[in-house]
Structure 1
Amino acid sequence: MALEQLQDSEVFPDTATTEVTCYRPNQACYSQSQSVIQETAVAIEFNGIAYTVMMCSPTNLEEFAIGFAYTNQIITHYHDIHDIEISHSKQGITLHIEVANRCLNHLKNKQRSLAGVTGCGICGAEKLDSVCQLLPTVPFRSQYNINALQPAFRELSQLQQLNHKTGASHAAAYCDEQGKMIAIFEDVGRHIALDKLIGFIVRHHYQGGAIFVTSRASYEMVQKVVCAGIEYLFAISAVTQMAIELAASSQLTLGGFCRSGRAEIYSHPQRIVGEIIS
């Protein structure tokens, strides 16, 4: 299967062009055109029930709908979604998601407000027990060679088309157990980039492999990866203590500062093999 990347940017533009005035050391100011990242209000409805509004990049919205529903435990399987319709208005975009009737009970336990900020993982959650979810454990199915990390992040950096244009997007990528890059999704919000990726994984029934993110790894990022049944989460930046504790209890191998010949493994290092070769 070919590498999956943003495919609908022509239908839903992910950037806009604006004129900016630039100031540089020892130079007169000058004007130039610059690409800036789009940020759109996306409302999510389940069976006609308004659920939440997220600020995100207006691309790969079906994957976002699937990943959001899955990582928020509204659905338990891709086939729980019967239909996804996307509508536009002056205010933004609405995702009309039709789910199986049995999933409506999950909605009652996931009450949220109708406002969320860019990429926030817990915006609008009304109760602490809706934030700190009980999670399954991921199985020990594979080992990962530490030397595959740096090439994977280099490839991820090269493939970040939206970030190359704007410098303002996060990315989440999925590699198989042989280190082959399978999919990459970008968004102005790091959680939403991950939701889009997990939507792709769930839709195509992928198992195994590792997820890479171009951000820090907080506990809600760990939650999403564990929900997807993936054994590895590698972040280019730091991790939080709560993320470490959740990864440890869920049997997730969590890595941070995975860059420039460096990697810190915070939980279940027994899955990691090899040594970093300088």
Structure 2
Amino acid sequence: MTRGERIVPEEVPIAFSYGGSSHAVMMGTPADLQDFAVGFSLTEGIITDRSEVANIDIVEDEKGIDVQVTLLGDVEDALRARRRSMAGPVGCGLCGIESIEQAIRKVPDVSGIELSLTHVDIIKAIALLNDSQPLHRETRAVHGAGFYIPGKGLIAVREDVGRHNALDKLCGAVIRVGEAGASGAVAVTSRLSVEMVQKTAILGAPILIAISAPTALAIRTAEEAGMTLVALVRDEDFEIFTHPHRLSPGNIADVA
């Protein structure tokens, strides 16, 4: 046995509060919390645009982090009304018809977005993502999500111990800089569950690229949403699961 030291990622409870009321608590990496707040609010359907967030306060104590989000008046009133309508019929956290409907919610249709990538873009997106994760290089214990625009490369990368958190942070980063989701593709280091497809569609990106494999429900959801799903990217090899019309071969020699 050899003794040594290793850098490991931090994981803390991160609570999201709206209008003074706690909405959800996530276990996550305590970084990029402004992006996390905006992205979470967007992908959970609390907001539809960054401008609906009036203010974000980060309050830390020994137990965790409270991300206090202040919304515009009308949006906050709508969220409060939604909470009231969901209270009462169920007595436990994830029970009841509301939770089932939320889990399999219909996602936005991105079939009309004409973004196209070459096979070289697919390879480059994952290669750049692998090279743009400082926390992962140190710990080998976090997921990454990046936003790739052809001709520009990765304009944003976010990391977290949770793959959903990393994608939420990325969604927040993209819309906070004023970039349209339709302008690029999302690349992730994790497997593709249905939630990853849902969040990508809500961002408005028509292409989702992953190192790992998709689930059957993720494939069906991407097909219905008109999203191009590319997975199992390994060097120059990858598999296209849905809507391949957005991809063209390109010149693989250009990867270098």
The answer to whether residue 165 in structure 2 is matched with residue 192 in structure 1 is yes
Q: Identity of aligned pairs, percent?
A: 32
Distance 1:211 1:87 in 2: 30
45-54 or 151-160: bigger deviation: 151-160
- Once the two structures are superposed, residues 203-256 of structure 1 have per-residue CA deviations (whole angstroms, 9 ceiling, x without a partner) of 122121111000111111000000011111001000011111111111111111
Q: Which runs of 4+ in 1 moved over 6 A?
A: none
Distance 2:80 2:234 in 1: 40
Q: What is the DSSP-based 3-state SS (H/G/I as helix, E as strand, rest coil) of the residue aligned with 1:233? A: strand
Aligned to 1:247: 222
Distance 1:73 1:34 in 2: 39
The answer to whether residue 114 in structure 2 is matched with residue 176 in structure 1 is no
The answer to whether residue 15 in structure 2 is matched with residue 51 in structure 1 is no
Aligned to 1:3: none
Offset, 1:83? 0.4
Change (3 A) 1:124 1:163: farther
81-90 or 136-145: bigger deviation: 136-145
Distance 2:234 2:167 in 1: 19
Distance 1:268 1:129 in 2: 26
Extract unaligned runs of 5+ from structure 2.
88-92
- Once the two structures are superposed, residues 90-116 of structure 1 have per-residue CA deviations (whole angstroms, 9 ceiling, x without a partner) of 11000000012322324554669xxxx
Amino acid at match of 1:58: P
Amino acid at match of 1:171: G
Aligned to 2:51: 79
Extract unaligned runs of 5+ from structure 1.
1-28, 113-122
Aligned to 1:151: 124
Change (3 A) 1:48 1:150: same
Offset, 1:125? 7.4
TM-score normalized by structure 1? 0.81
Offset, 1:172? 0.1
Aligned to 1:41: 13
Where in structure 2 are the equivalents of 1:106-255 lying within 5 Å? Answer: 106=79, 108-109=81-82, 124=94, 127-138=99-110, 139-178=112-151, 180-207=153-180, 208-255=183-230
Aligned to 1:65: 37
The number of equivalent residue pairs is 240
Quick check: 1:43–1:54 contact (8 Å CA) kept in 2?
Answer: yes
The structure with more helix, counted as a fraction of residues:
2
Distance 2:127 2:249 in 1: 19
Quick check: 2:121–2:150 contact (8 Å CA) kept in 1?
Answer: no
TM-score normalized by structure 2? 0.88
User: Aligned Cα RMSD in Å?
Assistant: 1.9
Offset, 1:73? 0.5
